[in-house]
Structure 1
C-alpha cells in the first residue's frame, strides 16, 4: 500500500491531465501477458510495430520485465492536455545525466536513485547508451517515439482522447456534487481517500507527503500506479495513472472472451444495434479490415447478421449471439 498525504492546499491544486505519451509508455510495460479488458487490440498492434519496425531503444525497454520504463519517455504533463508534439519536445530536451541515472535504475531493477551500477545486464542498445554517457539518446528516443506514435496510435488517438476526456468530465461532475474526498474512491477499487491520505494499492509500500497529485486516466493501465520524479525532488507532484472503466470494449476477460477471443467478444457485445464496420473500428480502436475479418467469423458462426441499407452494410447480433453475451 502506498500512502500519499496531501494537505488542504495540495488537494485544491490536484488536477487531471490527458497525456498521449503516458499511453504510449504503457504499451512498453509487461502487461501484454494478460491485457486488461479492451486493451488487447492496442497492445497487439503495439507489439507488432515493435517487432517489425526499427525501434531499437523502445524495443529494448519493452523487453525489460520488471515493470519499470525510464521516466524520460513519458514526461510530466505540463498542462491538462499536452499534444504529442509538446511532449516529444520535452523528451528531446532531456539532459543526458538524467538519462544515465534512469538507465542505471533499469539495470539495478528497482526505481531507486544512487545505484552503484551493479545489477542485471542491460540490452545492448541501453548498455551502449550508458557507455557514451547518454549522448544522443534523447534525440533517438524522440525520433523513435514519433515513428511509434505515427504507426500505432495517431489514427486512433482522437477516439481514445474522447474516452479519456469523458472520464475527466465524469470526475468533474463527482467533484462538484460530492466533493474531492469522495472523488478518489470512485476512480478504482484500489484507491481510497481516508483522513487526509490517498491510499493506493501497490506491491510497493511506503508513505510520503506530496504537494499535490496529477491524475492521468489510461485506457491501457491494468491498475493504479504512482510515478514520483525523484530527480526533480519536491518540485513536481507524483503522477497517479489509473485505469478508465472497462476500456474501449466491454466484453471483459471472462468466459465469453475465453471462448471467442477478446476482440470478437468485444465486437459481439457492442452489436446491440445495427452498426457499420467503420463505426465498430472507430469505437474499438481497430482497423476496418480487422473488424471485417472478425465479423466474417461471427457471421459464419451464426452470431451476427448482415443487412444492407443504402450504401451501408449493417451488422447486428442474432438471438444466438445475444444469448452468449447475456
Structure 2
C-alpha cells in the first residue's frame, strides 16, 4: 500500500494534467509490454515500433519485467496540458548529474521502492561514458521519433478521451467535493481522512506537499511515481487508467435510424460521453469532414452541443438528444407533416 498524506494546503494545490510523454514512457513499462485486454490497439503497435525502429537507447531501457525506468524520461507536467514538444525539451534539458544518477539507480536498485538493481545494458553504459547531457539529448531524439511513428497518428483521439475524463473529474469535484472525486478515479484508489491510499505491493507512507494526478490510456492499473525527498519540484504523480478508454459503438434503434438517417443516428448514439470529431470519425469509419457536417446538423437541431476542452472541441448530447437516443419507440416525435419534433426532416442520408 502506498499512502500519501496531504494537508489542506496540499489538497488545494493538487492538480490534474494530461501528459503525452507519460503515455510514451508507459509503453516502456511491463504493462506496455503486455497490454491489458481492453487497452487501445495502438499500445501493442507502439511496442512493435519499439522493437523494429532504430531506437537503441529506449529499447534497452524498456522493461520486460519489474523494475525502474529513469524518472527523467517522464518529467512532471508543467501545466494542465503540455505539448509533447514542451515535455521533450524538458527531457533534453535535464541536468546531466541527475541523468547519470538515475541511470546508476538501474544498477544499484531503488531500496525505498523495494526494487533490486541489475546489470546495465551495454548501450546504456556506452552512452553514459559520453556524459549525462549526451544521454538526455539522445533519449529526447529517440522519444520524438518513437512519438512520430507510434503515437502522433492517434493522439488527437486519445487526448479527447483524456480531456473528457478531466471534464468528468471537474464535474465530480464541483458537485461532490474532493473526497468523492478521488474515490471515483479507480477501485484501487481511496481517500481516507486526508490520506490518499493506492493499492501496491510496495509499502510507502509519506507526507507530501501536493499530488499531480494524470489519467492514462496505456496504464492498466494505478501507479505512483514518487521521489522520497518529496520536493516541490517533483511531487508525487498519481497515474490511473481512464475507465472508458474508447467510445463504445452503441447501435441506434431502428426507429431513430429512420428518423434521423443511419449516419446521424449512429453519431448521436455514440455520444453517450463527450467525443471529438476525430474520435467519431475513427469509430464510424467516416471522414472528419463528413462527421463534422452531420454534427452540425444535429447541433442546429438542438440534439448535440459542443464545448472546448484545452485544444480539443468535444461534442456531447443535449438533454433533448439524450431523450431521443434513449427513447426506443418515439411515437410522438414525428408529426403528421413528416417533420420531426427537433425540426429535422426524415431522411435516409
Q: TM-score, normalised by structure 2?
A: 0.69
1:203 deviates by 1.2
C-alpha separation in 2, matches of 1:199 and 1:158:
32
C-alpha separation in 1, matches of 2:120 and 2:3:
32
Q: CA distance change for structure 1 residues 109 and 248 in 2, over 3 Å: closer, same or farther? A: farther
Q: Which runs of 5+ in 1 are unaligned?
A: 251-269, 286-326
Q: CA distance change for structure 1 residues 272 and 109 in 2, over 3 Å: closer, same or farther? A: farther
C-alpha separation in 1, matches of 2:135 and 2:82:
22
Match of 1:89 in 2: 89
Q: Which has the higher contact order (CA 8 A, sep 6+)?
A: 1
Alignment: residue pair count? 262
C-alpha separation in 2, matches of 1:188 and 1:92:
33
Q: CA distance change for structure 1 residues 40 and 183 in 2, over 3 Å: closer, same or farther? A: closer
1:237 deviates by 1.8
Q: TM-score, normalised by structure 1?
A: 0.73
C-alpha separation in 2, matches of 1:194 and 1:284:
42
1:11 deviates by 0.8
1:240-295 Cα distance to aligned partner (Å, 9 max, x none): 01100142366xxxxxxxxxxxxxxxxxxx3625679x97772499xxxxxxxxxx
Q: 1:158 aligns with which of 156, 159, 162?
A: 156
Q: CA distance change for structure 1 residues 10 and 279 in 2, over 3 Å: closer, same or farther? A: closer
Q: How does 1:72-87 map to 2 (within 5 A)?
A: 72-87=72-87
**Greater Cα radius of gyration, structure 1 or 2:** 2
Match of 1:61 in 2: 61
Match of 2:135 in 1: 137
Q: Which runs of 5+ in 2 are unaligned?
A: 253-261, 267-277, 286-349
Match of 2:214 in 1: 216
C-alpha separation in 1, matches of 2:246 and 2:67:
23
C-alpha separation in 1, matches of 2:61 and 2:152:
21
The SS at the match of 1:57 is helix
